[in-house]
Structure 1
Amino acid sequence: MKREGFLKDIFICSLGAFGGPEAHYGVITDQLVIKKEYLDEKELVELIALCTMLPGPTSTQTIVSIGYKVGGPKLAFLTMLVWALPVIVLMTMLSFLYKFLDSVNLSHDILRYIGPMAVGFIIVAAYRIGKKVIVDKMTFFLLLFGGVTTYFFRKSIVFPIVLIIGGVVSIVFSKEKDLWNRVRLNPPWIYFLIFLIFAGGSIALSFLFNNIIINLFESFYKYGYLVFGGGQTVVPLMITELVDIKGYMTSGEFLTGYGLVQGLPGPMFSFSAYAGGMAARGNYIVQIIGSLVSSIAIFLPGLLLIYFIYPIWENLKSIKGIKISLKGINAVAGGLIAASAFSLMQKNGFAIDNILIVIFTSLLLFTKKLPAPVIVVIVLVIGFLF
């Protein structure tokens, strides 16, 4: 009965989870901590710290960790399904949006302001994350380093390298002592082994076979273990590979999906269902499979890492070096987001109406006058009218 009640509460959280990880934590606190007391605020903050240190979707990993705490690995898996599946289904359906517009003879131009709107969301995310991660001169310069480097060198391999550099710099300049204090750990290695098998196996299969489904699994699984900070930070990695390198979709199509997902509740990583579907379009069945495979692939690394890390969390969190490295990693990630906003705006065009939509969206988000879904609807209406 406790399990059924918990999953119902997770579903309530998923329906109210607009606006990215920071907003998600507010919903989680209200429903799971204050109302239902599955854990206290101190435990939630500790879980957020754990998931922030791991690659993958931070709010999803946090809520999966709560499921693990309440009912073990089985409930953790069901928690992820209830949390993510509704919006994944919606984003899969939206990947057919362009075909629908063709079938009813509607112009794609009604979606033309979704891209600039998405840029507004990214700008606000970059500002808010920047305020949070810039705590001294070092983090300020790391944010600049991350932004400038990834703007001029937009290769997928660059992103994890600059994140690692940020973590190393943070440790090197730390004045803390005994950073790598010894702790006794007994991790469930089987989950980490599965994580490595999927990583290595997908790369090998993608190299051997030129198959769109295999390639999508390899790409999205990689996004799942290379990205720190959740949905916003995966954007520069995705657009570089899916748009610039592989040409699976145009920047306008990418931004349309990214803009639409802002108006839906649930984890930002559900954008993978739209992107995977767009990349595999041409055949309805293959497109649905592409959406499903991409969604599974991007969430799987984070789930496996939680299964590996959570059982040893109580001991792991006492290692100072891990916490300190996160300071630099987050600063660099803020730079990545800022660079992606400028790059995407360049691709979308600096026409006066696009700039006005970016300003309009940013102001509404900063003032918090309207929720994200309402902003999406307004921008769609503007595109339709003009």
Structure 2
Amino acid sequence: MATIRRVRYYIYLKDVLVLSLTAFGGPQVFLAMVINMMVKKRGYISEQDLIELNALCLVLPGPTSTQTISAIGFKIGGPTLAYLSLLVWIFPATCLMIATAFLIEYLQANTEGALGFARFIQPMAIGYIIYASQITIKKMIHTVEAALLMMIAAFVAFFYNSPFIFPIMLAIGGLITTHNYNKQPVIKEKSKIKISWRNFILWAGVLIAAAVLGHYTRLLPVRLFENFYRNGSLIFGGGQVLVPYLYTEFVEFKNYLTSEEFLTGYAISQSIPGPTFSISSYIGALSMRDLGATGMITGGLIAAAGIFLPGTFLIFFIIRFWDELKKYRPVRAALEGINAVSCGMLIAAAYLLFEPLDNNFFNIMAIIGTFALLQFSKIPSPLIIVIGVLAGISYQWIIS
């Protein structure tokens, strides 16, 4: 039995590594790849269970793809395999984004007009968000009520740009659609829900401890961990929703990065495989650039730990009783409203990121062109970013 268990661990972790190196194109592509590899090829989990599990992860704050991978690992081999899955999944993207931070810092220190190559990929990042919004809306919005909730959520998220409003809107959205519970199929076989609070206490304990230590020590590494852990605990709706709030905190409020550095990093993060939350490693590394190479590596790793841990703790808390909880029709009905609000947040995120850019012809065409390529062509996502980089280099050479 032990031999089978070791082989299962090895095969699953190898599959996770393959996904972490090949899952380009965001959460929609990721889910399709997981269905193909882990449902159809390996049979780790049924397709229906995977879709419900992914919906649960959408409801929780934090990175959906990371939580999904960790939850599958938990079902197969318990907490040990789940944490190993987490490390294998985030490691390649974290390393790549820290390396990107080093590259950007080196270019700016040694080359005049260093970010000229990013002339077009900064607005292209907006095109990626619009594309993600369009796919997500098509997948999740099926009723007039959901469409209205989405538009209201977009309006509120735009004018009240605070992460604390997100959980409130999601809760309200879920409550609004619970009245449709009678449209859900009845599942008669129910048993008493048993809740273990250990992981919830762990999540809350780390959140409080990081806030207290950050306040009293004022040490940058501690404050960075608290910043990212707080964002990972409060942001619903995935990486696209996370981005504008990281921008507000680290660019506009703390001035750790410039707008150009941030948007360049986000665009590059869209061209690498793995979780979109990996942009946090890039931000963390540049936030500690004054401490040299060691500081940048430390900042990148601290940011990764801060952003990925809270969602992992929360999914481990709920996954233990999710199979029983989802049998209740109001719970399933609430997912419609929660998903609609998440779509509204995506719409607001696209506009919030466009605000710092110049409202000119080139930026508008870069956004429209990126969306068109993603929507109507089969050009891989990384190659589209390469095209944008080459266009920026050519533009810089022509005007110089």
Q: Same fold (TM over 0.5)?
A: yes
Question: In structure 2, what is the Cα distance between the partners aligned to 1:18 and 1:243?
Answer: 27
- Name the amino acid aligned to 2:218: N
Q: Distance in 1 between matches of 2:81 and 2:376?
A: 38
Alpha-carbon offset, residue 168 of structure 1: 2.8
Task: Please tell me whether the aligned partners of residues 156 and 241 of structure 1 are also in contact (alpha carbons under 8 angstroms).
Answer: no
Q: CA deviation at 1:229?
A: 2.7
Equivalent position of 2:313 in the other structure = 304
Match of 2:326 among 289, 314, 317: 317
Letter in structure 1 aligned against 2:64:
T
Structure 1 Cα separation of the partners of residues 112 and 32 of structure 2: 39
CA shift, 1:316, in A, is 1.7
> Contact (CA 8 Å) 1:183, 1:316: kept in 2 or not?
no
CA distance in 2, matches of 1:342, 1:314: 38
How far the C-alpha of 1:166 sits from its partner, in A, is: 2.1
Distance across 1 between alignment mates of 2:253 and 2:163 = 9
Once residues 42 and 336 of structure 1 are traced to their aligned partners in structure 2, the CA distance between those partners, rounded to angstroms, is 26
Farther-moved stretch of structure 1 (104-113 vs 139-148): 104-113
When structure 1 is superposed on structure 2, of 43-52 and 3-12 the one drifting more is 43-52
Report if the CA contact (8 A) 1:38-1:70 is conserved: yes
Looking at structure 1, the residues matched to 97 and 10 of structure 2 have their Cα atoms a distance apart, in angstroms, of 26
Contact 1:155 1:241 in 2 (8 A): no
Distance 1:70 1:106, change over 3 A: farther
2:378 counterpart SS class: coil
Q: Which residue of 1 aligns with 2:79?
A: 73
SS at match of 1:350: coil
Q: How does 1:327-342 map to 2 (within 5 A)?
A: 327-342=336-351
Q: Is the CA contact (8 Å cut-off) linking 1:117 and 1:357 kept in structure 2?
A: yes
CA gap 1:368/1:16 in 2 versus in 1, 3 angstroms: farther
Per-residue CA shift, 1:235-264, capped at 9, x if unaligned? 222222222332222222211111101000
Shift of 1:319: 2.8
The 8 Å contact of residues 181 and 332 in structure 2, kept in 1 or not, is answered as no
Greater mean deviation of Cα atoms: 253-262 or 161-170: 161-170
**What is the deviation of 1:177?**
9.2
- 1:153-203 Cα deviation digits (max 9, x unpaired): 2233233332333223333x4353999x98522233221111110111122
Point out where structure 2 has 5 or more consecutive residues left out of the alignment.
1-6, 396-400
1:132 aligns with 2:139: yes
- Runs of 4 or more off by more than 3 Å in structure 1? 173-179
Counterpart position of 2:129: 122
Equivalent residue for 1:61, pick from 57, 60, 67? 67
**Mean Cα deviation higher: 182-191 or 211-220:** 182-191
Q: Output the TM-score relative to the length of structure 1.
A: 0.93
User: Which whole-Å CA distance do the structure 2 matches of 1:340 and 1:233 have between them?
Assistant: 6
Q: Does residue 51 of structure 1 match 2:57?
A: yes
Which residue of 184, 208, 219 maps to 1:211? Answer: 219
Give the SS at the match of 1:348.
coil
1:281 aligns with 2:281: no
Structure 1 residue aligned with 2:3: none
Q: 33, 38, 51: which one pairs with 2:39?
A: 33
In the alignment, is residue 383 of structure 1 matched against residue 389 of structure 2? Answer: no
Q: Distance in 1 between matches of 2:310 and 2:51?
A: 22
CA distance in structure 1 between the partners assigned to 2:305 and 2:325 by the alignment: 27
Bigger drift between 117-126 and 133-142 goes to 133-142
Find the residue that maps to 1:228 and give its secondary structure: coil
Output the amino acid matched with 2:244.
P
Pairwise CA RMSD:
2.1
Q: d(CA) in 2 for partners of 1:70 and 1:44?
A: 13
CA distance in 2 between partners of 1:13 and 1:241 (Å): 31
Q: Who is 1:364 aligned against?
A: 373
Q: Alpha-carbon deviation of 1:343? A: 2.1
Maintained 8 Å contact 1:51/1:61: yes
Tell me, yes or no, if the aligned pair for 2:121 and 2:267 is still in contact at 8 Å: yes
Sequence identity of aligned pairs in percent?
A: 39
Q: Quick check: 2:181–2:333 contact (8 Å CA) kept in 1?
A: no
| Alpha-carbon shift at residue 10 of structure 1 (Å) | 1.2
Following superposition, the deviation at residue 147 of structure 1 comes to: 1.3
2:320 is paired with a residue of what secondary structure?
Answer: helix
- Range with greater deviation from structure 2 (362-371 or 245-254): 245-254
Structure 1 residues 113-122 or 320-329, which shifts more?
320-329
The C-alpha deviation readout for 1:75-103, integer Å capped at 9, x for no partner, is 11111111110110110111123221134
**Number of positions where the alignment pairs a residue of Structure 1 with one of Structure 2:** 384
Aligned to 1:151: 158
Verify the 8 A CA contact 1:63 1:79 in the aligned structure 2: yes
Structure 1 247/319 Cα, relative in aligned 2: closer, same or farther at 3 Å?
A: farther
1:234 to 242, 250, 255: 242
- Residue 295 of structure 1 and its aligned partner are, at CA, apart by 0.5
CA distance in 2, matches of 1:26, 1:292: 29
Is the contact between residue 53 and residue 322 of structure 1 (CA under 8 Å) also seen in structure 2?
no
Q: Where do 1:146-225 residues align within 5 Å?
A: 146-171=153-178, 173-174=179-180, 176=182, 184-225=192-233
2:24 paired with 1:18: yes
Shift of 1:64: 1.1
The residue matched to 1:184 in structure 2 has which SS? coil
Change (3 A) 1:330 1:246: farther
